[in-house]
Chains A and B, each alone.
Chain A
Amino acid sequence: MPPAGTTTVLACVAALIALGVGSAPFGRRQATSPVVYGASAIFCLVAGAAALGALLARAAPDQAILPLGLPWTGARFRLDPLSAAFLIVIDLGGALASLYAVGYGAHEREPQRILPFFPVFLGAMNLVVLAADAFSFLVAWEVMSVTSWALVLAHHQDAENRRAAHLYLVMASFGAFCLLLGFGLLAGPGGGYAFDTMRAHPPGALIAGLVLVLAVLGAGSKAGLVPLHAWLPLAHPAAPSHVSALMSGVMTKVAIYAFVRIAFDLLGPPQDWWSVLVLVLGAATAVMGVLYALMQTDMKRLLAYSTVENVGIIFIGLGLALAFKAQGLVVPAALAATAALFHAFNHSLFKSLLFMGAGAVLGATGQRDLERLGGLIGRMPQTALVFLTGSVAISALPPLNGFASEWLIFQGVLVSPQLAVTALKFLVPAAGAMLALAAALTAAAMVRCFGTAFLGRPRSPQAAAARETDPWSLGAMFALAALCLVVGVLPGFVIDALAPAAALIVGGHMPDQVSQPWLSIVPIAESRSSYNGLLVLVFIAASAGLAALAIHRYASGKVRRAPAWDCGFPDPSPLTQYSAGSFAQPIRRVFGPAAFAAREIVEMPPPGDMRPARFIAVVRDRIWETLYAPIDLVIGRIADRLNRLQFLTIRLYLGLVFLALVGLLLVLAIWV
């Protein structure tokens, strides 16, 4: 008899919630922290193992109905392949973030603001993915939002963090509201809130389209889809680093899960325009996200924007999958869907790793500002190594995992001339170009980030005095780096593991990969395209080894240390080296005018004037200015006007209530 995965995961969720609630009275003691994090790691590992077991055994979906929630429905939880795939993402990320936090949490000055919420946050994310009716889904979703909001607000003394938390709360409410409406429409007048009922009675074309838009808004605002990403670069850096790793690496995946569940599973057959919408948003998100990342000097904000970019890439994959599914092309749809899921998994690995690395840097130097770091590779060699691994992986360079999934998405783009929709014929190659542009710009952003933080000379005394981080954190980061390498070198195993999830959402899966000779991955046929990460790794290692061997055998081995040459211009000040700002300048000049209305102003005082010359670079956030600022302004004005309502007499209040009642009854009478 197969193990009942749902029960195991639910038990772990209950344990996590109990852990959070139970730790609340003891939060102030330093000794609580390792216990809570250690226990979180263990529960996550158990839940993840149960999900992995169910996915690999291709176990039948397994449902549990608990007598919770609404009295006449009960709460349904179900472990199917799609949930299992995302549970693995959540619990792997959760376990490693907890492990990291065993060491990192020791620096925390106010652990009582984090410890009670952290395990509940993990449990809620598990529950979202496990939920099989709209009610428990939304409750879990809200618990996830509220606990992560509390974690963002952990360091509330900082005004910037309070602003981030406020914006996060507003956006999370907006997203939850959209999802609530979407599920309401899906449930229909009969009120079938169970996912099974929704799946059995898909809505008509108009309602389905409306629900899709609501799902894009609701899940997209949580995932960070442009233009709903505004909260993400504020909230992710504000939280403690292990929470940033979870929010960025894992919680965005829960949002993607919500979108996939609604758009692919519950909504019935897709329509052509859905994929157009998703592709446009995905491509715009990918490029805008990375361009924003290139302009940031705050290390964690840079990484948060890079998450926006990767969410865009995942949505490009999902958009392709929707397009193929709408046309009934099962094999390409499976390819694109698998690529998107694979990239989601990969992103959870390397983005968690990078946020943890940024946390290690923050712990060692107290700095997140790239302009005040530098030279850390000498002081923190192990952190530098894992951060470099993560940077290479996220830049989609072979043989690490980011390349494998982006390669698959490119293969998905290349089969799309089969699509017979005119709009898609123009859109898909453009999306492919955007994807390539985003990949190249990511490499630039990561060179800039790693180069200014870890290479060069220290730009501040704190950076010069940094110390290597603790062994727990290093252990978690090395585990993630190793996973990045293994998954990149042997992508076939992951693709095969994802096959049931792809089959669930598009009705087909990619050909079996592990049985391919030499463990290459072959999306469609070997004559079309194939890639072998293992051989590429072996080739690179062998050639580099061969070259090193030959050089050390025949070349002079003498090494002399000397001051840097720098064209013979000796310079003792680290301020003359390239900074993050100067590194981004060429790219800002190329893309800035279009993307950010960027301008450069040079103020040159007239001869004889003693004022210094000034160089001012102005970068504006156009999305904020055109979308959020007007909304903010309008709401402010309306609030000012409505302020008078606060001071009415009781008769007028009663009159208002009466009028509202009459109005609603009128609407009802006319409607029905």
Chain B
Amino acid sequence: MGVIRDLSVQGLQMMLVLALAPLLTGWVRRLKARLLRRRGPPLLQPYRDLWRLMRKEVVLAHNASWLFRVAPYLIFAATWVAAALIPTFATGLLFSWSADLIAITALLGSARFFLALAGMDVGTSFGGIGSSREVMIASLAEPAMIMIVFSLALLAHSTQLSTVAGFMLSSNVGLRVTLAMALVALLMVAVAENGRIPIDNPATHLELTMVHEAMVLEYSGRHLAVLELASFLKLLLYISLIACVFVPWGLAPVGSGLAAAGIGLVAYLGKLVVAGAMLAIFETSMAKMRVFRAPQYLGAALMLGLLGALLLFVSRGGLR
């Protein structure tokens, strides 16, 4: 029975992230519009968009290859698996040990690898520009992310997210400089990885500054729907990750009952609402950077992560 329950919790988690992701994006978009004194689309607009895209025919470029058609599913699958491995409302999920934080980072790397390839497949100038900028941003964002993982793993003595969350819930955390640095760095990386302002503008089209939108420019119909859903999921993933590591309150511990899970779910929804609101406020109060400012921004994140890890190496030597 235990296994079946665990399996269903794991399945529930997968479906939950999938169902919530468009809503989160809708919430951010709506709030951004309100902050700009526009009325804004309804909260459920992303679902409608996805449905509309799915019903449309696919227009493929003449020389689009099989990779172009397979990539959306691979990107979506890698992102979904990564999102499903992050504890949202309960820790100790059945398969949480199958991939740790480094593997989750690498799964997102796989998704990006195929996205960048898909951008180059048709052989247009916009796709190439998007891909080359994406890998430039990733080449700094990924090491920054790994350094954040190092800091957390050195503190919690584990790269398993459930263990890290458990450690952060326990009383012996205290306030640490490293944690503050890791949080700032993680926020910076999350903004960059999701293609949000100030690195990229998710609302732009036909502009030379775009990155993510340029790579998916040639996509249409159901393929575009899958890619959009994957990018919604990615935003949810990063918010869940920050919530799970830095504000783990409310997470249902291993083997707890339904009530704890319910509390966890409500807490999780609350965290999403707050994080979405913070993102909207941040984005409306910022202007987009030039593309070649992005390396400085991400270099700062990398340095923060590295300094955080170094502090731990130097200060906690010989402990374990």
A interface with B by C-beta (< 8 Å)? 374-375, 377-378, 381, 384, 388, 392, 395-398, 403, 407, 410-411, 413-414, 416-420, 425-426, 428-430, 432-433, 436-437, 439-441, 443-444, 446-448, 450-452, 455-457, 518, 520, 526-532, 535-536, 539-541, 543-544, 547-548, 551, 554-556, 558-567, 571, 574, 576-578, 582-587, 589-590
| Alpha-carbon distance A397/B116, docked complex (angstroms) | 14
Q: Is the CB of B136 within 8 A of A586?
A: yes
| Alpha-carbon distance A567/B217, docked complex (angstroms) | 8
| Alpha-carbon distance A374/B121, docked complex (angstroms) | 10
Which residues from chain B contact A439 at a C-beta distance below 8 Å? 142-143
Q: A378-B65, A447-B135, A544-B73 are in contact. Are A577 and B123 (CB under 8 A)?
A: yes
The reply to whether the CB of B117 lies closer than 8 angstroms to some CB of chain A is yes
Q: Is the CB of A556 within 8 A of B57?
A: yes
| Alpha-carbon distance A149/B75, docked complex (angstroms) | 44
The reply to whether the CB of B153 lies closer than 8 angstroms to some CB of chain A is yes
Q: Is the CB of A414 within 8 A of B128?
A: no
Segment at the interface with A among B154-162, B195-203, B241-249: B154-162
Q: Is the CB of A531 within 8 A of B62?
A: no
B53-83 toward A: CB 8 Å interface, digit per residue (1/0)? Answer: 0111111111101110000011011101100
The reply to whether the CB of B272 lies closer than 8 angstroms to some CB of chain A is no
| Alpha-carbon distance A658/B314, docked complex (angstroms) | 61
Count of interface residues, chain B, beta-carbon cutoff 8 Å: 91
Q: Is the CB of A547 within 8 A of B62?
A: no
Q: Is the CB of B98 within 8 A of A529?
A: no
Q: A417-B154, A556-B222 are in contact. Are A428 and B63 (CB under 8 A)?
A: no
Which residues from chain A contact B121 at a C-beta distance below 8 Å? 377, 451, 455-456
Q: Is the CB of B100 within 8 A of A440?
A: no
Q: Is the CB of A555 within 8 A of B222?
A: yes
Question: B66 to chain A: closest CB distance in Å?
Answer: 7
The reply to whether the CB of B2 lies closer than 8 angstroms to some CB of chain A is no
Which residues from chain A contact B40 at a C-beta distance below 8 Å? none
Q: Is the CB of A378 within 8 A of B74?
A: no
Which residues from chain B contact A407 at a C-beta distance below 8 Å? 102-103, 106
B274-301 toward A: CB 8 Å interface, digit per residue (1/0)? Answer: 0000000000000000011001000000
The 5 closest A-B pairs by CB, nearest first: A578-B128, A456-B123, A558-B57, A544-B77, A436-B146
Choose among A419, A433, A448, A518 the residue that contacts B98 (Cβ–Cβ < 8 A): A518
Q: Is the CB of A531 within 8 A of B109?
A: no
Q: Is the CB of B113 within 8 A of A529?
A: no
* 24 A-B pairs whose Cβ atoms sit less than 8 Å apart in the complex: A392-B110, A417-B316, A418-B318, A440-B142, A444-B135, A447-B120, A451-B128, A456-B121, A531-B103, A536-B103, A540-B74, A540-B78, A544-B73, A544-B76, A547-B73, A551-B225, A555-B221, A556-B221, A560-B59, A565-B59, A576-B125, A578-B128, A586-B291, A587-B135
The reply to whether the CB of B265 lies closer than 8 angstroms to some CB of chain A is no
Which residues from chain A contact B23 at a C-beta distance below 8 Å? none
Which residues from chain A contact B73 at a C-beta distance below 8 Å? 544, 547-548, 551
| Alpha-carbon distance A571/B127, docked complex (angstroms) | 14
The binding surface of chain B is classed by DSSP as helix
The reply to whether the CB of B312 lies closer than 8 angstroms to some CB of chain A is yes
Which residues from chain B contact A447 at a C-beta distance below 8 Å? 113, 116-117, 120, 131, 135
B interface with A by C-beta (< 8 Å)? 14, 54-63, 65-67, 73-74, 76-78, 80-81, 84, 95, 97-100, 102-103, 106-107, 109-110, 112-113, 116-117, 120-129, 131-133, 135-136, 138-143, 146-147, 150, 153-154, 157-160, 163, 206, 217-218, 221-222, 225-226, 291-292, 295, 302, 305-306, 309-310, 312-314, 316-320
Question: B199 to chain A: closest CB distance in Å?
Answer: 13
Which residues from chain A contact B309 at a C-beta distance below 8 Å? 429, 432-433
Choose among A403, A451, A518 the residue that contacts B131 (Cβ–Cβ < 8 A): A451
Q: Is the CB of A554 within 8 A of B54?
A: yes
Residue of B nearest to A415 (CB): B320
Choose among B100, B113, B310 the residue that contacts A392 (Cβ–Cβ < 8 A): B113
Q: Is the CB of B312 within 8 A of A417?
A: yes
Which residues from chain B contact A563 at a C-beta distance below 8 Å? 61-62
Q: Is the CB of A566 within 8 A of B131?
A: no
Q: A520-B98, A560-B58 are in contact. Are A418 and B320 (CB under 8 A)?
A: yes
Q: Is the CB of B314 within 8 A of A425?
A: yes
Which residues from chain A contact B14 at a C-beta distance below 8 Å? 543
Question: B186 to chain A: closest CB distance in Å?
Answer: 15
| Alpha-carbon distance A428/B313, docked complex (angstroms) | 9
| Alpha-carbon distance A446/B305, docked complex (angstroms) | 26
Q: Is the CB of A578 within 8 A of B306?
A: no
| Alpha-carbon distance A428/B150, docked complex (angstroms) | 11
| Alpha-carbon distance A447/B61, docked complex (angstroms) | 21
Q: A556-B55, A556-B221 are in contact. Are A381 and B313 (CB under 8 A)?
A: no
| Alpha-carbon distance A564/B206, docked complex (angstroms) | 15
Q: A540-B77, A577-B125, A578-B131 are in contact. Are A565 and B217 (CB under 8 A)?
A: yes
| Alpha-carbon distance A578/B116, docked complex (angstroms) | 12
Q: Is the CB of A527 within 8 A of B313?
A: no
Q: Is the CB of A590 within 8 A of B129?
A: no
| Alpha-carbon distance A576/B131, docked complex (angstroms) | 15
Residue of A nearest to B311 (CB): A429
Apart from A398-B106, A403-B106, A578-B120, what are 18 other A-B pairs with CB-CB below 8 Å? A407-B102, A425-B310, A426-B314, A429-B150, A430-B306, A432-B309, A444-B136, A455-B120, A456-B121, A526-B160, A543-B14, A544-B77, A551-B73, A551-B226, A574-B123, A583-B120, A587-B135, A587-B136
